[in-house]
Chain A
Amino acid sequence: MDVDNGSVAAMQSVEVDWTDANFSVLRDWEVRQVAYVPDAGHAELIRRCDDAEDMRLVPLTTEEEGIAVLAGAWLGNQRGVLLMQSSGVGNCINMLSLARICRFPLLMLVTMRGQWGEFNPWQVPMGQMTPKVLEAADSLVFPVDDPAKMGETITAAARMAFEGPAQAAVLIGQGVIGAKSFGK
């Protein structure tokens, strides 16, 4: 992961902690299809899911595919999760209608860019729009800015997504994952 200052080792140990929490929630809910467009913040979780015999990684070409893939998964009685960066939320807007109108369970884990301490201004417009767009699409939105709150938040979001059923997006803030700096 990239950090703009501070101890890389300390930040990595925090990342492992919240990846553990995220992974164990996916485990608890028997998530079988892990659809994603990658982000550095999800790299460890993707690796853990790849190692899990009963989870199938589904890399996408664009995030909206994941909404449709997971709708099909639920029709066939499997749960899934969609991992993406905040910029991907913009790609999903129309397809979120599918989850909303059919009330498909949809758990989205969104790593934020352009939200807090962003070095790249091109990430800022979509980053700032992300919660508004999700709310406009009738998704439940769970921002997390404290790594210590990650586990309880994803637990709450997954329960509301799968028991609802509902769309639930956990927005993993740059305060949690570290603001990407590309070494600048």
Chain B
Amino acid sequence: MNGTLDRDRAADYPLHRRAVVAELLAERGDMLVVAGLGAPVWDCTAAGDHPLNFPLWGAMGGAAAMGLGLAMAQPDRRVLVITGDGEMLMGLGAMTTIASQRPDNLAVVVCDNERYGETGMQLTHTAGSVDLPAMALAAGFESASAISSDNEFKAALPAIRSAKGPGFWSIKIKAESNPIGAMPPKDGVTLKDRFRAALLGPT
């Protein structure tokens, strides 16, 4: 038994995480990207390692909050947080902290497979009644929506890249396991230094 969670429905979602993230990052311009731990890190790296990606190998629950601090420090740059449903749920309070600051350059995208993907695909609360975009809207995000088809995703791409924020998108993706593939650098200082060098030049 798993409470009211639905163990079957995410197996039939048509969108695939690797394709979604590759498309999100295809025309990234000078966007700054924070990737939440687990599959979003592998997805972002599969789309091409980049010094302006900050992949989190830990700090579960911190991706959106980190995106907030970055967005406030760099108000002229688009900041995109790409994370998973389990990671977002662990830091749900950050949704209200972001809404209270209302950075207009911040976009949060949750790749929502309704699973803890790294630990054996156990169900998360989004496999039940929990509606993350509704929570983001209620908190006070500028916009928030759920995406479950390729048409909806294509239509949302311009807004994810440039609409007034803070914006929140939950992209429902198929519950599937991918090979991890390429990994980004694992050393935190390297990740920090290369990000700052790419963003700020010599400091």
Q: Are A33 and B69 in contact (CB under 8 A)?
A: yes
Q: Are A33 and B199 in contact (CB under 8 A)?
A: no
Chain B, 77-114, CB within 8 A of any chain A CB: 77, 91, 93-94, 96-97, 100-101
Q: Are A102 and B65 in contact (CB under 8 A)?
A: no
Query: What's the Cα separation between A22 and B169 when bound, in Å?
Result: 40
Chain A, 53-101, CB within 8 A of any chain B CB: 56, 58-62, 64-78, 80, 94-95, 97-98, 101
Chain A interface residue count, CB cutoff 8 Å, equals 33
* A32 at the binding interface (Cβ < 8 Å): yes
Q: Are B69 and A76 in contact (CB under 8 A)?
A: yes
* B135 at the binding interface (Cβ < 8 Å): no
Query: What's the Cα separation between A59 and B65 when bound, in Å?
Result: 12
Query: What's the Cα separation between A80 and B191 when bound, in Å?
Result: 20
Q: Are B72 and A33 in contact (CB under 8 A)?
A: yes
* B147 at the binding interface (Cβ < 8 Å): no
- Over the window 98-123 of chain A, the binary record of Cβ atoms lying under 8 Å from chain B Cβ atoms (1 yes, 0 no) is 10011110000000000000000000
Tell me the A residues contacting B by CB distance below 8 Å.
32-33, 35, 56, 58-62, 64-78, 80, 94-95, 97-98, 101-104
Closest 5 CB pairs of A and B: A76-B73, A72-B69, A61-B93, A68-B62, A102-B188
Can you report 13 residue pairs joining A to B where beta carbons are below 8 Å apart?
Answer: A56-B72, A60-B97, A68-B61, A68-B63, A69-B65, A71-B69, A73-B69, A74-B192, A75-B196, A80-B69, A98-B62, A101-B188, A103-B192
